[in-house]
Amino acid sequence: MIQKALKFLLPKDLFQKIEHESRKWFIKCPSCGFSRSYWEAGGVRVAFDFSKRKVIFGRCPQCKELKLFKVTRKD
């Protein structure tokens, strides 16, 4: 939802930059080890937001539990 809104609102090259950056960030379930990129999980990594938060709250698509997901960056 937020991704569609941004795509509509932002210039194309800026949107691609945000998408590219968001794909470097991964979330990992502490219970089952399931992981995927933050972008694929529907998130958008925004610098001022993520510099403070290293975890996000959500439901794991694999084990279906509500968890605090660790957020890590891969280059």
Which of 34, 35, 37, 41 is close enough to bind Zn ion by CB under 5 A? 34
**Segment interacting with Zn ion, rule: CB under 5 A, options 6-14, 19-27, 37-45, 55-63:** 55-63
Q: Are 59 and 32 in contact (CB under 8 A)?
A: no
Select 6 or 32, whichever has its Cβ closest to Zn ion: 32
Q: Does 29 bind Zn ion (CB under 5 A)?
A: yes
CB 58 within 8 A of CB 66: yes
Q: Contact between 68 and Zn ion (CB under 5 A)? A: no
Among 3, 19, 23, 32, binds Zn ion (CB under 5 A): 32
Picking from 36, 47, 59, 55, the residue whose alpha carbon sits closest to that of residue 14 is: 47
